[in-house]
Structure 1
């Protein structure tokens, strides 16, 4: 497309249809249609001036080149009502003077107003021409997304027209947009006179946009001035606007310059009904406005209301509602108790220490206000009551100062909407203006600030910490975030492999311990799996802080295209030991709750025991080891082509070449080889100069290493750095990383002649019985609970998974039965030689016969543990945890 644009950017308008034909060709328009267009036989209604380049293709596009300098928007207003557009179901209008473009999509009612040379950036606008409908993300309310898209176009135009590139300029533009957002919202929700702001723009700004800056300067000054004498001196169209305050318009910041396009886009924004748009999405909307790449993925930056409710309902909202319901059942003393509950609502503190744009705080505020209205309705004298819930009860910290400003604005607007709710329900008018500056929302690094200074906690205050802090696995943290972790976890022996979100749990633990405060945060599910459990939770429990409710792992549904990519948990903490605790489980797309005596750090019923890495297996079982580590710079490893080339020149090397299996070759097929020079003599080596050259490459690579241990290995450059290969027999190979989608980790029994790399773990001298147990569902469920994560996969480890797994006690006859069923699994696999292990164990392509063989094996292995079948994975793992505790106690009693 860039080439086509360059060819036509200097073209004289209205002379040929070459550009339009080339443009349509890019969208796979049939050649026959293009030919008919060129011959003017396909034009809808025979476009009036085809010889001047006009095209009208039925059910597709109306293309019209115009004279240079034509106001394209004005021209669009003139042509959009022409009858042939409707008659022939034209989808797109495309107007251009080859310097600028104005296009309109009648179906989505979206417009495109860009320079001609920028058209390639917006090709997706025209994808329906190729039969690909645009996927518009929604975040519960389609108006929210449309508002983000429209304001995003305004942001782009102002940035471009004013040539804003510096961060300070962009910050000023962001603040300006928040002020516009308030004005749009205010005129649709009775803060301003109805449509006052739109009328101001339409009636008192010039079409070229040149006086918009001065007009808005006067308006913002008026909104920040309480002096009535000042207002009396202003024109009526300015003086009609009220005093706002709240620091929203306090700073006299520069307003960007406008052109006609920016003015039109601002009017497009104003034309929307902002009363339909939820204040809790404003912050997320602004993320998408200011970052074009995020604009089409609004849902990814928006925590949905249902997910926020999962945090706040069990933490405080449901207990408050239950108390309200109990009071309503009282036969006497009801009014006093209701007044006490109202007083309680006015003293509760809600604190989000990673608040972003305030979504959690806004929903919490709105829900408390709704409850307050319900209480008012129960009181006879409700007509004289005003809300006692203040924005000052809602505290937040956010590192992005613009997000904090957006959060403040969103809270103001949420307050106004709840005042409207109060008036609608009870007829009580509670004025929103003037706004009161909210100083309880603070811009700063939450992990380096003293939370007690932001939200004071005297030990008896009713405080609830909520939020969805940044996750940040160990592989994708910035240097600054790593420094944050060093500060938060000062004194910890191991913490660097914790997810970044763990910082908020640990700081939260320190904040609530010994007090009435409680906490509930969203986290990556990996924080409650694998090695991270021992790194964090045992220290939390040592502070006498307990898990009082938890949501087990579930997909973070946020209406984004890849919403299933992130799985999270919600963990509620309290320093008050509660008799009954609740676990929420997602089963068959339905949530169920389970009341338990204690919630383990793995978010299941059980004790607070944590599974820590062990050097030796628990119980009397075979030892599993890591595969062989080359640390060779690639010189000892060979592709099939390299192997063949080497053997062609040095046939004697064949004795020393072995097949090599990394995890990729094992799972996906393919061949790789290695030089396995264990026990080679100097005489044998001297007869292979090409092999010697490779060995010298290893030596030089190891000598150049910054690690002393690697340098020492340069003395044996012909050998792998770490060798654990069994000398005889077979071994079970287990890849160290496996997809989280698989029900079973693919394993196999491999001959000791085949070398395994350190991408796998090995169980030497294993029998078919061990193979059967390791391939069972109960072992895989244990792995999913205690294994670490690597990206979206599980990281199988001998120290944390295998060494901690409680093998069943089995008789010789039982072992023989398991071995037979394990052999059947291998026989079924052999019936599908065309499939790789990755394909066989992909849930979507797993052969039914293989699945059946595994299920038979699963039932048999489970019977080794108990006769009664397990209900689900949680019950299997809970049972294994009980066995593990018994084994650990037995070890301690034996002094091991």
Structure 2
């Protein structure tokens, strides 16, 4: 016989227990573990599963305090146990559980960063209830009721249910198995693969891809409808099976079914009534292709797809996979990775949900405060001794009712706000961001309704008169027609999933689907009257290579562009900025296209029209920055509360960062767009339209006829000092940022690196998250661990020293440049090929076939190749002097260059695309120069011989003195370059952006002939010689490999057998000692020997920023500390600017910026009249104080008349109950400190 405690015995034992929390909680958890058949807590050195787990709260004033978690299991849960005296479902009981939840979340936040936050918080009232809250992204979001607000509370009696026990057992053993996104991902992927097979088969039968996509969309919605019982369970699948042998009958039956689903009523196809579904999906029943004629094997594929559990399909990824399945051009990527839901949530939460939860916290606190006051008033009625006292009693009862009504109204007001706000994704794709937003809005709505019910509101939650969150509030703009249609489908499937899971099938009103028109199929950044084919002066229509079609070259056999594959070049008539639908929040993932590839991807006509419509967005900015600039302008103008967008991680680089800087300084103005006459572009009518919360905060968005609305005032266009906000402009702040994060391109599944930024109104600090660890998981998702810092987030997405505000220095000007950019692999030759072309036999050819190095040559194994460099020769001269070499280029370079959109590249095909004229002048008189790989894991500098031509992926620095090599090779410059540079690629390697890393770097002021300068020079020469000697002796001792070992030595990690061999071959111990001595000497040169690196990196950066400002001031006064005066003072700097203008990849000059104040001092303010505003304002006072305050200290921030102070103690206690403040010894402090 099983001796384990049965569920019934467990319930009987704990029902009505009245002992204290401390006496009962641990026994309750132990008994619960026995019931669930899971291991019990036990003390271990790792403290990973135990009772009374100690944690430390770190406060903003530098102090700390201790706490203990009732029960903790690492990676699983924090459990906070109470034994509340009040009975279940009373106000006191709910308040107690609310306090316990806040306490548990506080413990989760206080856990060490290396442990991460557990996915679950459990709140236990011993013997009564277990509440379950989850946060699966584990990145700092709010724990929300799990699985939903209606079923997260497990009563003691519910523990008899097997499904409840199974849920709790997984929380103890495999919590990720409960993650809805992971559960649904497998189902969704399988379904998408099946639909892709069917789509391919139908297209092979000659059906148009758009017709196929629409047909399959109707099929899959029907599959979903039968699984959630909006159609009779199994009816669609039965229809397929019944008519499998008669495809023509099935074709007609499906047509009949879908027409009936559109209008509702009796359906002959199913021989029963069907709901009225309405919407766009089932319209057009008489059109050709509405229902397709299938073959039996194609019907089998449909049946196979219909057998999937469509209840479990994950809308957050379904749209992406379905789009790939239905798009012939993207179907190859179907098996590739998709953007995980957790990544989407990482942006949606801080952009939309966290601000709303902050508002809800204020409204909830106000409601609870008023409820407390009502209860107190109700408990002390006046005595009734005479007839007159009855009138006083009536007034008392009326006052109590008014208090309760006011408490409920606080919640209803927020519910109205929640149900009328609008969220816009201006590049919505298949709506994964909008769907995730919808789900979180519905979760929050459920919590609000629960609170309303707890306050005694008796209105049925399903009452049709009550406001509710609907799809009407979610708006999107999408250029791809198929994706726009799928977006609506995905949103409706997601909405219906949530509605039925929460409210049941019986609650479904008709029509089931509405055509809100909230997803607009159009361009989000460019509007125009019409497109016309471009023509040349003779009237000939212009075309361009399609960028995708290749053919083998008849001589070389190499893949070259197929010149026959041409597409039209279009001219856009009357181009202007496109309108956006009105919204309160903007969130999304605009397309990733770099400035240098926009013309190839979009066409000359489109790019020219775009630049004309957006004259103030720099030409060097990426395509995504047009979305970012528009959204930021709307935030700055107060029209949008927050915007959050995904961009490439090059956002921090100068050419994009200038737009960010302008937004933070208030320089992104939506001038004429926000005049009273401009108006909003409203998508769809109804409750979430003009009457929504926030409408009219600013009198309009960009109108179609607004001309150059948007007037983006970038720093280089300001008439005031750089960094100074434009008069009257509203400044903004970065409320949240992740500078570098893995991502998956939605179109092709490629792994990329992105940045997340959330912009909010006004000056404030923000949350900066940085990736600490990345670990591959199922389906290609990279699970990331994040660390968080709070503070003023600078335009380069950093917190701390404002390195982004550093200015380029004249002292460093005209010395650094990227190497030549070939634009044609045919320029590169081996030594044998060079000899066959005449090197060594043809006079003068040695000047045109040169030594050549790229990044891999320096950091890994050199390729030992040469490059054909015809710089200085015309095509005729090259052909006459070196015919063999000319023919080589004619066959291997010209075919590719002929299809290039840039005329200079196309016409000068025998020359490098970017020959770097200035670089050649900079290094022509030098026997050697310094070079570093632009994108590399380790920031290393070395000397290259003056005859070597550097590749575009090298940054050449025209200095030959070992003193300069030593300073650049020090940890000081390495820390600076890491802070001000950028990051690139899937490997997330640092990028050396020369305009920031070199030109703004202040070198130490040293006598070049002094002893310390000579010491630095000698150490740098020794390092350079040592590395090259070890590489020559041991080819495996590449720089990357050697410095990987060096980093391990510095960290104290043990070396592997391979690394020990590299340590011996590279003599890495010697190299480390040289670097250590060099670092010490350079620190001494700055006068900063008190610093210890890397521990004092923040201090170092702050001092370098300060030194940069001092040098800039000196230069403004006429004193320049030239690094190479004999060259720099020769008047050649102007040439650098000229060449930079011709290079789309060149760094834009940085105008610098003035640091902004980190804090705005709080002055004494009038005591607010509204309860919600009182809650909000007192919470702001605690947050700004950065220390604990007593009652008088809080009150000192306010002025007012009457007895306003009487409410303060209850108000502060309410903030404590909600986890927004802590109290000890009669002093209150913000919970985040």
TM-score, length-scaled by structure 1: 0.69
- Picking from 203, 206, 215, the partner of 1:163 is 206
Distance across 2 between alignment mates of 1:559 and 1:628: 30
Q: Does 1:548 align with 2:734?
A: yes
Measure how far apart 1:186 and its partner are.
1.0
- Picking from 229, 232, 240, the partner of 1:190 is 229
- Picking from 970, 988, 999, the partner of 1:776 is 970
Measure how far apart 1:428 and its partner are.
9.3
Q: Does 1:150 align with 2:273?
A: no
Measure how far apart 1:171 and its partner are.
0.8
Aligned residues: 719
Question: Is the partner of 2:231 in helix, strand or coil?
Answer: coil
Measure how far apart 1:309 and its partner are.
1.7
Maintained 8 Å contact 1:776/1:854: no
Maintained 8 Å contact 2:826/2:889: no
1:334-357 residue CA offsets vs partner (Å, 9 max, x unmatched)? 422211211110121100000011
Maintained 8 Å contact 1:809/1:864: yes
Partner of residue 1113, structure 2: 889
Partner of residue 679, structure 2: none
Cα distance 1:183–1:581, how it changes in 2: closer, same or farther (>3 A)?
same
Cα distance 1:215–1:630, how it changes in 2: closer, same or farther (>3 A)?
closer
Partner of residue 767, structure 1: 961
Q: Does 1:833 align with 2:833?
A: no
Measure how far apart 1:483 and its partner are.
4.9
Measure how far apart 1:221 and its partner are.
1.1
1:418-448 residue CA offsets vs partner (Å, 9 max, x unmatched)? 2124327xx9935374311121210001112
Maintained 8 Å contact 2:279/2:513: yes
Give the superposed CA RMSD.
4.7
Question: Is the partner of 2:430 in helix, strand or coil?
Answer: coil
Maintained 8 Å contact 1:408/1:441: yes
Maintained 8 Å contact 1:351/1:395: yes
- Picking from 487, 490, 496, the partner of 1:407 is 487
Maintained 8 Å contact 1:581/1:599: no
- Picking from 631, 634, 641, the partner of 1:508 is 631
Partner of residue 397, structure 1: 477
Distance across 2 between alignment mates of 1:632 and 1:191: 59
Maintained 8 Å contact 1:534/1:610: no
1:569-592 residue CA offsets vs partner (Å, 9 max, x unmatched)? 111123x21333222222244323
Partner of residue 929, structure 2: 732
1:369-407 residue CA offsets vs partner (Å, 9 max, x unmatched)? 111111111123365134521211111000012211111
Question: Is the partner of 1:357 in helix, strand or coil?
Answer: coil
- Picking from 830, 852, 857, the partner of 2:1072 is 852
Partner of residue 299, structure 2: 263
Distance across 1 between alignment mates of 2:192 and 2:850: 56
Q: Does 1:660 align with 2:851?
A: yes
Distance across 2 between alignment mates of 1:448 and 1:654: 50
Cα distance 1:238–1:507, how it changes in 2: closer, same or farther (>3 A)?
farther
Cα distance 1:631–1:187, how it changes in 2: closer, same or farther (>3 A)?
closer
Distance across 2 between alignment mates of 1:480 and 1:562: 18
Structure with the bigger RCO (C-alpha within 8 Å, sep 6+) is: 2
Partner of residue 251, structure 2: 213
Maintained 8 Å contact 1:408/1:438: no
Maintained 8 Å contact 1:632/1:721: no
Distance across 2 between alignment mates of 1:633 and 1:410: 44
Q: Does 1:580 align with 2:765?
A: yes
**What are the ranges of 5 or more consecutive residues in structure 2 without an aligned counterpart?**
1-180, 372-406, 528-575, 669-729, 774-783, 873-878, 1047-1061, 1121-1233
Partner of residue 469, structure 1: 590
Question: Is the partner of 1:734 in helix, strand or coil?
Answer: strand
Measure how far apart 1:602 and its partner are.
4.0
Distance across 2 between alignment mates of 1:224 and 1:631: 56
Question: Is the partner of 1:266 in helix, strand or coil?
Answer: helix
Maintained 8 Å contact 2:827/2:869: no
Q: Does 1:805 align with 2:1001?
A: yes
Larger mean Cα displacement after TM superposition, 602-611 or 767-776: 602-611
Maintained 8 Å contact 2:422/2:582: no
Measure how far apart 1:368 and its partner are.
0.7
Measure how far apart 1:276 and its partner are.
1.0
- Picking from 173, 176, 180, the partner of 2:215 is 176
Maintained 8 Å contact 2:930/2:959: no
Distance across 2 between alignment mates of 1:246 and 1:653: 75
Partner of residue 43, structure 2: none
Cα distance 1:327–1:761, how it changes in 2: closer, same or farther (>3 A)?
closer
Cα distance 1:554–1:839, how it changes in 2: closer, same or farther (>3 A)?
same
- Picking from 306, 309, 314, the partner of 1:278 is 314
Give runs of aligned pairs for residues 866-885 of structure 1, distance below 5 A: 866=1088, 867-868=1090-1091, 869-871=1093-1095, 880-885=1104-1109
Distance across 1 between alignment mates of 2:1118 and 2:981: 28
Partner of residue 241, structure 1: 274
Cα distance 1:837–1:578, how it changes in 2: closer, same or farther (>3 A)?
farther
Maintained 8 Å contact 2:429/2:487: yes
Distance across 2 between alignment mates of 1:794 and 1:181: 45
Distance across 2 between alignment mates of 1:582 and 1:411: 30
- Picking from 527, 531, 536, the partner of 2:651 is 527
Give runs of aligned pairs for residues 361-440 of structure 1, distance below 5 A: 361-380=434-453, 381=457, 384-386=460-462, 387-423=467-503, 429=507, 431=509, 433-440=511-518
Question: Is the partner of 1:519 in helix, strand or coil?
Answer: strand
Measure how far apart 1:288 and its partner are.
2.3
Distance across 2 between alignment mates of 1:753 and 1:358: 55
- Picking from 504, 521, 525, the partner of 1:447 is 525
Larger mean Cα displacement after TM superposition, 666-675 or 367-376: 666-675
Cα distance 1:441–1:758, how it changes in 2: closer, same or farther (>3 A)?
closer
Q: Does 1:819 align with 2:1017?
A: yes
Maintained 8 Å contact 1:545/1:573: no
Larger mean Cα displacement after TM superposition, 543-552 or 519-528: 543-552
Measure how far apart 1:290 and its partner are.
1.8
Q: Does 1:319 align with 2:319?
A: no
Maintained 8 Å contact 1:489/1:503: no
Distance across 1 between alignment mates of 2:500 and 2:869: 78
Distance across 1 between alignment mates of 2:444 and 2:470: 14
**What are the ranges of 5 or more consecutive residues in structure 1 without an aligned counterpart?**
1-136, 458-462, 680-688
Distance across 1 between alignment mates of 2:310 and 2:886: 72
Measure how far apart 1:466 and its partner are.
0.3
Cα distance 1:421–1:777, how it changes in 2: closer, same or farther (>3 A)?
farther
Question: Is the partner of 2:193 in helix, strand or coil?
Answer: helix
Measure how far apart 1:278 and its partner are.
1.3
Cα distance 1:837–1:739, how it changes in 2: closer, same or farther (>3 A)?
farther
Measure how far apart 1:803 and its partner are.
1.7
- Picking from 267, 286, 304, the partner of 2:340 is 304
Cα distance 1:220–1:155, how it changes in 2: closer, same or farther (>3 A)?
same
Measure how far apart 1:260 and its partner are.
0.7
Maintained 8 Å contact 1:471/1:500: yes
TM-score, length-scaled by structure 2: 0.52
Question: Is the partner of 1:141 in helix, strand or coil?
Answer: helix
- Picking from 851, 859, 862, the partner of 1:669 is 862
